[in-house]
Amino acid sequence: MSIRTKLLLSYIAMIAVPVVLFGAVVMTAAGLYLRDMAPGSGHDAARQHRPALPFEAFRDLFGGRSELAGGLRFVAAHDPRLLDDPAFLADAEAELAKVDAGLLVLRGERTAYASPGLDADAITRQLQAGGAEAANAWPPRKPGGYGLDRIAYTAADGQSGTLVIASDMEPVAGFFRRFVPTVLLALVGALALTNGVLTYFVSRSIIRPLQALRTAAGHIREGELDRPVNLRRQDEIGQLGAAFEEMRVRLRDSIGDGLQLEHSRKELLASISHDLKTPITAIQGCVDCLQGGVADTEEKRRKYVAMIAGKASDMNRMIEELSLYSTLDVGRLPFRFERLELGEYVRRTVEELRLDPRLAGVRLELDLPQLDPAPADPRPLCVQADREKLRRAILNVVENSLKHMEREPRILRFALERLAPGAPDEAVAIRIADNGTGIPEDALPHVFDRFFRAEPSRRTESGSSGLGLAIVKGIVEEHGGRVRAFSRPGEGTSIVIALPADRSSRSTESPGKQPTGGGTPT
């Protein structure tokens, strides 16, 4: 729920809840305080017939008085003789008693009849002071006393008289004296309670997550980036917390990447310095021997010159691989992708390797059973690849294998495989296996790391830069594939280069981007 919705609902609740509470208090207070002013409340029999709704008491009270006053007014106007009849007056008095009223009959200034309980003298003084008119004067008189309804008539003997209906207003006045303060207090209490509770919960739901964000900001300011920010909310503050958490993660990763980059830079400088120092030292030693006259024969001079040429060649190869890896690492090595029929490509590559002097004495085996299309899957094994870059990757794998093949016969086997045939992410793999010394199990996950060597010491007699397999990994990944190593110590190593199969016939050029027409193999 959004904060806007919460505030809207709280505003509605601030109005609706006090209204409901106020109405409940009004009805309850009216029901309690009107008990004593129900018509005929002084009679036990009448109390058994009190109104069901609180304010019906007012209707019954004043409605009954008006009805009886109208009847007596009719009698005074049309049959005033009944006002001298004690039986009629007794009946009228009984009816008036049910609505807390009484009857007073005046003949001139003399009281001819008064209902029991009425203070005739007080009523007479009130009439002389202005009666009902005085009740409307300003400032108003103190509530309570009698409400007087005066009816003038002429008796049968011609004497003027006054019929006064005196209504007891003390129950009504007492009701309002208690009811009004109670209602006002209830209204103030309902408003205070509702607004206080809603303000507390709404402000708490906003302030607490903001305090959590402030605390998280303090941790980030102090460099503590491993404390997650999880508000578990779906509103605007929750979205802010999610953005804050994403910022924290990115900042942590950025700092981690920076530290890793700095560490890699230092490691790269140390590795380059170490790998270049060995051949330079050897060259310097040969030069000293030539200059110092140690090489006093032609044969010795040719030997030292050959050593200088070999070490220079090794340095040139290391610098070339370092340059290639750096260009590949920053994504600036251009690739020209074309559709290759992989079986034929591997066959030609192996034929070229047979002519390489470095592989003299190595038996090359070629296992390409998938060259002939199977009836169930007649499609040839094709990939989108850069011909020269893929050849460079294969040669690096071969050179790495040559360094570890120490027993006879030395065998290097090439095979072609189809991975997940028919699947959308179908891949074609080149497997290059040797029968060398193998790679220790703990070193196997790191063989494609730059400057990694499985030997305990960093031997560079073979001119290795430690970048050969790292370059293989970079080239294969630029093709949208991946490379893996499998090895058993003493039995040999297999390097599997998996490339996405291609269905198109297009050739593309890409400056260090993935080729078209393939996916990453699984």
- pTM (two decimals): 0.49
For 335, which DSSP code? E
Average pLDDT over residues 484-502: 88
What is the torsional sign of CA 351, 370, 481, 448? negative
Round to whole Å and give the CA distance between 419 and 428.
Answer: 6
Cα–Cα nearest to 322, from 98, 474, 494: 474
Burial of 245 (0-12, 13-18, 19+ CB in 10 A): middle
Average pLDDT over residues 30-44: 56
Please state which of the ranges 96-110, 186-200, 292-306 shows the lowest mean pLDDT.
Answer: 96-110
Give the ranges where 222-297 is alpha helix by DSSP (H). 236-291
Residue 473's contacts (CB-CB under 8 Å, 6 or more residues apart) are: 448, 483
Q: Which amino acid is at 245?
A: E
For 48, which DSSP code? T
pLDDT for 513 beyond 60? no
Q: Residue 443 is encoded by which pair of tokens?
A: 């070193």
Cα–Cα nearest to 103, from 82, 117, 85, 122: 117
Round to whole Å and give the CA distance between 55 and 348.
Answer: 109
Round to whole Å and give the CA distance between 366 and 122.
Answer: 135
Q: How far is CA 400 from CA 59, 203, 354, 467, 519, in A?
A: 110, 68, 17, 10, 28
Q: At CB < 8 A and 24+ separation, what contacts does 453-457 make?
A: none
Angle formed by the axes of helices 298-329 and 468-478, nearest 10°: 30
Name which residue leads in pLDDT, 159 or 377.
159
**In contact, 304 and 283? CB cutoff 8 Å:** no
Cα–Cα nearest to 275, from 462, 500, 435: 462
- How many C-beta neighbours within 10 Å does residue 383 have? 26
pLDDT for 233 beyond 70? yes
Residue 515's contacts (CB-CB under 8 Å, 6 or more residues apart) are: 335, 337, 384, 385, 479, 480, 500, 508
Using a pLDDT cut of 70, give the percent of the chain over it. Answer: 77
pLDDT for 47 beyond 80? no
Q: Is the peptide bond before 54 cis (omega within 30 degrees of 0)?
A: no
Cα of 300 vs its chain's centroid, Å: 77
- In three-state secondary structure terms, 326 is helix
Average pLDDT over residues 399-416: 87
Query: What is the pLDDT, as a whole number, of residue 220?
Result: 80
Average pLDDT over residues 248-253: 82
Q: List the Cα angle 457/461/273 in 5-degree steps.
A: 70
Round to whole Å and give the CA distance between 67 and 76.
Answer: 14
**Starting from the edge strand earliest in sequence, which strands make up the sheet with 410-419, in order?**
362-367, 410-419, 427-434, 492-500, 482-488
Q: Residue 48 is encoded by which pair of tokens?
A: 């058994």
pLDDT for 155 beyond 80? no
Tens of pLDDT, residue by residue over 90-140, are: 888 887 777 777 777 877 777 777 877 777 777 777 777 764 444 443 334
Cα–Cα nearest to 447, from 409, 487, 417, 418: 487
**In contact, 438 and 473? CB cutoff 8 Å:** no
Q: Is the peptide bond before 181 cis (omega within 30 degrees of 0)?
A: no
Residue 15's contacts (CB-CB under 8 Å, 6 or more residues apart) are: none
Total H helices, total E strands in the chain: 12, 12
**DSSP-derived pairing of the beta strands 382-385 and 335-341:** antiparallel
pLDDT for 370 beyond 80? no
Cα–Cα nearest to 118, from 141, 160, 140, 147: 147
Round to whole Å and give the CA distance between 342 and 466.
Answer: 28
Cα–Cα nearest to 396, from 500, 286, 472: 472
473 membership: H or E segment, kind and range: helix 468-478
Cα–Cα nearest to 383, from 471, 504, 477: 504
Quickly state the pLDDT bin for 378 (edges 50, 70, 90).
Answer: low
Average pLDDT, the chain: 75
Average pLDDT over residues 504-520: 46
Quickly state the pLDDT bin for 394 (edges 50, 70, 90).
Answer: very high
